[in-house]
Structure 1
Amino acid sequence: MSEASTVAQFQDLKRSREAAGWKLLGADTAPLICTCLLGLFPATGSRQVSAAALHAKLDLLLESLRAAGVEPSQPAQGYAADWVANGWLRRDFPQGAQEEHYSLTVAAGSALRVVEGWRPSVTDTTGSLRMESRLASVRSLMRQLDQLTDDNPQARLASLYAEKAAIEYRIQETEAGRMVSIDEDRAAEWAREIIGQADQLQGDFDRVRDQFEVIHLDLRKRLLQHEGSRRELVEQLLDGIDIIRETDAGRAFQAFWNLLMDASEVTIFEETAHALANRSFAAKLSFDERLALETLKARLLAQATDVHEVRGRFVSGLHAYVRSREYAQQRRIMQLVSQAHRAATALIGHVRANEEIGFNFDRTSAAVRSLSQWSLHDPAVSAVATRIEDHVPELASPEELRLMVLRAEVDMRAIKTNVREYLGAMGHASTGDFLKAYPATQGLGTVLGYLQLTIRHGKAEKDSELLQWVGMDGELRAAWAPRYTVTKECIDAIK
């Protein structure tokens, strides 16, 4: 190693010493922290845990440690807050969730994999088998690399013919009943190697997700700092081009995503994992290892889907951002700050720092007052008691109903599913039939959703019908509306 590379390695390790992963391994309470994090986020478990579930499970883990003589210094909530501050836990609010969710950071995941690798093997034989399985993996990769990088046609043909001869020999041996299988200990260790590499792949997913966040913030920064009138990046965003997908991280993830979405490959992958988990050698694996092997495809797909959704949210967020008023305001602020900086730079050497220029700058400030001086607003003081009047249901026009639907955020996907299900069973229906068969979970919004579909796809009848439903406040309501009948032939059109 040269002197320059030695110094560079030292500087890299010095910076890594301040990273969250190294701090976790060097913490005085690292055994307690790693034990709890491994219990909260097992390899076969969910990658995200709700705040309530995490605190409850962490309480149980801390209680188990107290019973063993370990005395934690904080409650579960305190530990969780510290781990977030130290960069070992990520706290997010997923779209559609009712509360915060926690997940391991990339640094913590890497540190935990190091800790798991330090744990002693059951026997020396297991260690030698692990070395053998890794050596076999390295040899396989070397052969593939050699074949794929050799431009000599004769050498490649010779290699292919050799593979063909080996396959034909194995076919003949199998047909003759002379099948060669590895022993169960060696097979179990190969399975553990597969599980270990899959765990590392999940860590790669976390790193890609973090890279997407960095790229997203960098794109916003570049959008604001550009001083031109129209930027190519803005034009691409407005044209709907996925900028994040064109990055190195985006292309790498997209290649894996395409492979994961290949139906034939996924089917073979899933069937192979299921078959391996049920072979005789699997009895030598622990329950968690067998579960990890059998659910490997599902776990990879779940995390890949999460990364895919994160990228989609960032792209849609960028699209909305460049169209928003916030972008225009922030861009204007950046332009003014840049102009002021250039003007100040131009005065260097002409105006001294202590020279009077005849301009007073009033600094912004905030008045600080005691909380006791604030008077809280009491809604009951301004409330006006009014008598509730009965309203006679009237006939509403389809146009009024359409405008009301456009203003409401109705779960049309669930409504369409209900309509297709009911028509498939009964053959025809009106709005009132749907309301009798399914509850109006969004009150009037659900009623308007059914009306919209029956008006669009149904046939108008001469009479009207009385629609009845239970509102979101639990009160029974009713309204007269034109009757429209939808038939089974409209199922394909309702998507």
Structure 2
Amino acid sequence: MDYAAIDALRERHPAWRMLRATHAPLLLSFLGRFFVEEGHGASPEGEIIDALDDELYLRNGEDPENPRFKRDAADYLAEWASTDSGFLRRFYPLGTDEIHYDATPALEKAYSWVQSLHARPFVGTESRLQTAIELLRQIAQGTEVDPEIRLAELQRRKQEIEREIEQIEADPEAGLLDITAVRDRYQQFSSTARELLADFREVEENFRALDRSARERIATWEGSKGDLLEELVSGRSRIDSSDQGRSFQAFYDMLLSSSGQEELSALLERLTTIDELKADRSIRTVHHGWAEAAERTQLTVRQISEQLRRFTDDQIWLENRRVLDLVREIEGTALALRTGAPPEFGLELEQAGVDVSLPTERPLHSVRPASEVDSLLPPAEQEDVDTSVLADQVIVDPARLAARLRNLVPERGTALLEDVVTMYPVEHGAAELVGYLALDTDDIEVTTDEQEETVIEYDEAGRSMRARMPRVVVRRR
């Protein structure tokens, strides 16, 4: 980076301004502990003010004769969230009228840099080297187009696993890590876990910037609605197809899979049982923090789609209002013309005259004779009606389908529709499959992947049927 770029960062970047702030120690220590160490997300203003009041009381209690912080907690909080500072994000969440505050990526970066200034008693390097080598292996293996080379690499890894199995069978303590190697790997895991939360805030901020740009385009757009919708929809699809969007979606799907959650919970539980490691208890629930941060990021992306729907509704309202304005304008013009026509007002006719129809030339009214109506009909003959068709109606109960999904899919888990059908065979044919697609509840989300296709087989009226459809994914919230 050149001199001008660094000078611009020093003047404009919120993280740099945070380090130069007058009360930087208070700011970084309190906000870093509240949002980073304790893992709080967007929090109400009252909760943060109470915590900051306690912090100010402790700091001023160190020197009661000359307190360092003389302002109220609310004043400090408003200053840190102001446009000039940008240390916190201040907003109103949907459905509430209380101000909420959330950390910004700048706060994460400044707090992480200050933490890195501490001298670490132990710096692990072995696990990082192994991680770097493993990443290189994945890149090489994932980009190799020759299947024989990929098979040879898999055979080599298979032989290594077989040798490890033989060593453990001969010596049960073979391959165990010593406490130094365990500390090395734990240090890297702890650092990566916290960096993930910081990365989520940055990804969320990038998606929020796209949301703001969409709102600005809608507010200032003067062209046709179709052109703007095409531009906004293409921007929404670019989010999903970008490297950042695809990587985030892959992480989100892996994190919310039932098998991944069970394995991650078991591994974290095992980590906290190692007494020599003295692992932080908050690490045990770090995957819940990842899930909450990922959900907030997903919510930001969904707000862009919600903005498209609101724009369409607003445009319909504006178009209807424009029609009413035109009607009133026509009525006003008619009232103005009723008092007196303009000099050049009139109609030009090619005919020499106008046909006149006098009232006396019209025929007189003639009374029609009354008609008798016989509404009594002879009784109809009794007919044999097949009433069995009334019992042949197919009724699909959405509540029953939702109950099946709740029994099969755990909370925050996912499942494919073909797996659900395997556990609960189709009883009502295609109507039941459509019922799954139409489910819309608070805890169940049904999405389709147009890129992949699946075939579901079922029996209907004694015949074997096949339904070809996009892959359907069921998620529990």
Fold shared by both chains (TM-score > 0.5): yes
Counterpart in 2 of 1:192? 187
Deviation at 1:249, TM superposition (A): 4.4
One-letter identity of the residue aligned with 1:52: G
**Alignment partner of 1:55 is 2:49:** yes
Q: Deviations over 1:41-92 (max 9, x none)?
A: 2434321222111111111111222233472242211111111011111112
In the superposition, the TM-score normalised over structure 2's length comes to 0.59
Match for 2:68 among 53, 71, 77? 71
Judge conservation of contact 2:36–2:108 (CA < 8 Å) in 1.
no
SS in 1 for 2:125: helix
Q: Deviations over 1:283-323 (max 9, x none)?
A: 3x3xxx232x2112111001111111222233212211232
Counterpart in 1 of 2:95? 96
Percent sequence identity over aligned pairs: 26
SS in 2 for 1:90: strand
Counterpart in 1 of 2:330? none
Judge conservation of contact 1:58–1:76 (CA < 8 Å) in 2.
yes
Counterpart in 1 of 2:16? 22
Judge conservation of contact 1:244–1:315 (CA < 8 Å) in 2.
no
One-letter identity of the residue aligned with 2:107: A
**Alignment partner of 1:45 is 2:61:** no
Q: Which moved more, 1:207-216 or 1:24-33?
A: 24-33
Deviation at 1:279, TM superposition (A): 2.6
Counterpart in 2 of 1:315? 305
State the distance in 2 between where 1:229 and 1:79 align: 46
Q: What aligned pairs does 1:162-173 form with structure 2 within 5 A after superposition? A: 162-173=156-167
Deviation at 1:221, TM superposition (A): 3.4
SS in 1 for 2:115: helix
State the distance in 2 between where 1:295 and 1:322 align: 42
Counterpart in 2 of 1:133? 127
Judge conservation of contact 1:34–1:112 (CA < 8 Å) in 2.
yes
One-letter identity of the residue aligned with 2:251: F
Gaps of 5+ in 1: 1-7, 333-415, 421-495
Deviation at 1:145, TM superposition (A): 2.0
Who wins on radius of gyration, i.e. which is larger? 2
SS in 2 for 1:231: helix
Match for 1:213 among 197, 208, 215? 208
Q: 1:26 to 1:155 in 2, by over 3 A?
A: farther
Counterpart in 1 of 2:460? none
Q: 1:242 to 1:97 in 2, by over 3 A?
A: farther
State the distance in 1 between where 2:134 and 2:238 align: 36
Counterpart in 2 of 1:379? none
Deviation at 1:14, TM superposition (A): 2.5
State the distance in 1 between where 2:228 and 2:249 align: 21
Deviation at 1:327, TM superposition (A): 8.8
Q: 1:327 to 1:162 in 2, by over 3 A?
A: farther
Deviation at 1:264, TM superposition (A): 1.8
State the distance in 2 between where 1:327 and 1:117 align: 55
Q: Deviations over 1:216-273 (max 9, x none)?
A: 222233445555434355158799x867545554444323222222222222222212
Counterpart in 1 of 2:462? none
**Alignment partner of 1:290 is 2:281:** yes
Deviation at 1:169, TM superposition (A): 1.0
Counterpart in 2 of 1:381? none
State the distance in 2 between where 1:159 and 1:238 align: 43
Counterpart in 1 of 2:177? 182
SS in 2 for 1:91: strand
State the distance in 2 between where 1:109 and 1:326 align: 43
SS in 2 for 1:179: coil
State the distance in 2 between where 1:34 and 1:171 align: 50
Counterpart in 2 of 1:402? none
Deviation at 1:188, TM superposition (A): 2.6
**Alignment partner of 1:11 is 2:37:** no
Q: How many residues align?
A: 316
State the distance in 2 between where 1:147 and 1:252 align: 19
In the superposition, the TM-score normalised over structure 1's length comes to 0.57
Counterpart in 2 of 1:306? 296
SS in 2 for 1:41: helix
Q: 1:76 to 1:224 in 2, by over 3 A?
A: closer
Q: Which moved more, 1:81-90 or 1:169-178?
A: 169-178
Judge conservation of contact 1:243–1:315 (CA < 8 Å) in 2.
no
Gaps of 5+ in 2: 323-398, 404-477
SS in 1 for 2:249: helix
Deviation at 1:97, TM superposition (A): 3.5
